[in-house]
Structure 1
């Protein structure tokens, strides 16, 4: 059973998300909160699998709440929920360690599928929107010595997988491109994330741009 925590300050939206979760036989509501501080307390207390986190909330916004959860060692996968015109908040959320984002305009029937995808260890990202976010808001610094050392430890195959991740490819798509099984791709992704020192596929995408492996405008 997947435990999902909903953090959303708008009561109508929060109630709608909860109602949709209650329709799914493999999901249960771990808790809810209307501000970021309450969300942090609630998630650390209930240990959900997935957190649906609104970006803009009172007391503590979703980005800062995500940072505090990760700093506290929470293993919950945080999914930012935003409107289409808040691109800058979404990019900051990815930098903070969120595992993906969903638009509030997402069709109800796709919500459960997105949550299951996130819980399985993959990310919910629209490749075109993700690329636009990164290219518009990223100011790429020079990699520091620690990052350079991590990159030197990657194998050629891991770099190939990293490039495909940065293009928004799923495990199945990477397997087809590289002629590898799903199990092999999962192993490569797991080792890649460990070597890069990031906890999600989204973090690997952001780091691909920040490190210079992928440059804005690449297609």
Structure 2
């Protein structure tokens, strides 16, 4: 029996996945979480009972803690646990970061149930699993990103995909509230990300960040379109 935990913020999607997968005789749904932080809490509780999940189905875009950060923490704390990312084509830049942190593959959210079940089995056995489209999207843009990369300010390539996304919005004049609403985070979380951006780029304030971001706007926009792999 393969024990599965589902981390997905949209209840209708989460319930649907649970219903469809629970009928598989070799799969057992052991927990549901609506954000990455809650997923980690559930895993810790299950681990304490010596019944941890074998595979975590992880959404990328979630409030409180997104799937990228949750993947990083889970892979650090529970290195034997397998994570399968559930994503959309537009989430390509985040998928790469999750894979770098230890996720074993990804599938698009519209993957048929039978294929999803088979992917869970494959991940559990130690194989990787890659859905269509996103890798091709990354390869098509890598050359552009590598060309631009040499002229970037120090620290720019160290920004996470989320930090780049926020920096790009700063460059376009978005306020903290507008950024928070656009990417479904709290304003406090956005402020924390901005503090990290300023520290990585050795900048004094948001105005300097906007100036620097506009100086490498093309690179930021290109990095949004691939997977954050440099």
TM-score if structure 1 supplies the norm length? 0.60
Q: 1:111 aligns with which of 116, 135, 142?
A: 116
Cα-to-partner distance string for 1:28-75 (whole Å, 9 max, x where unaligned): 011110011000111233211100000011110000001111121342
Partner of 2:188: none
Q: Aligned in 2, Cα 1:125/1:31: closer, same or farther, shift over 3 Å?
A: same
Cα-to-partner distance string for 1:157-215 (whole Å, 9 max, x where unaligned): xxxxxxxxxxxxxxxxxxxxxxxxxxxxxxxxxxxxxxxxxxxxxxxxx9xx97xxxxx
**RMSD of aligned alpha carbons:** 2.4
> Gapped runs of 5+ residues in structure 2?
47-51, 150-226
TM-score if structure 2 supplies the norm length? 0.57
- 1:91 lines up with 2:63 in the alignment: no
Aligned residues: 145
Whole-Å Cα distance in 2 between the matches of residues 134 and 89 of structure 1?
15
Partner of 1:195: none
Whole-Å Cα distance in 2 between the matches of residues 101 and 85 of structure 1?
13
Partner of 2:44: 44
Query: Does the 8 Å contact 1:91/1:137 carry over to 2?
Result: no
Superposition map of 1:127-146 within 5 A: 129-133=134-138, 136=141
Query: Does the 8 Å contact 1:81/1:101 carry over to 2?
Result: yes
Query: Does the 8 Å contact 1:78/1:98 carry over to 2?
Result: yes
Give how far 1:109 is off: 2.0
- 1:70 lines up with 2:82 in the alignment: no
> Gapped runs of 5+ residues in structure 1?
142-205, 211-219
Q: Aligned in 2, Cα 1:127/1:85: closer, same or farther, shift over 3 Å?
A: closer
Cα-to-partner distance string for 1:134-172 (whole Å, 9 max, x where unaligned): 55369679xxxxxxxxxxxxxxxxxxxxxxxxxxxxxxx
SS of the residue corresponding to residue 15 of structure 1 reads helix
Query: Does the 8 Å contact 1:91/1:133 carry over to 2?
Result: no
Q: Aligned in 2, Cα 1:134/1:99: closer, same or farther, shift over 3 Å?
A: farther
Query: Does the 8 Å contact 1:31/1:42 carry over to 2?
Result: yes
Partner of 1:9: 9
Partner of 1:32: 32
**Structure with greater Cα Rg:** 2
Query: Does the 8 Å contact 2:57/2:83 carry over to 1?
Result: yes
Q: 2:87 aligns with which of 57, 82, 96?
A: 82
Query: Does the 8 Å contact 1:8/1:14 carry over to 2?
Result: yes
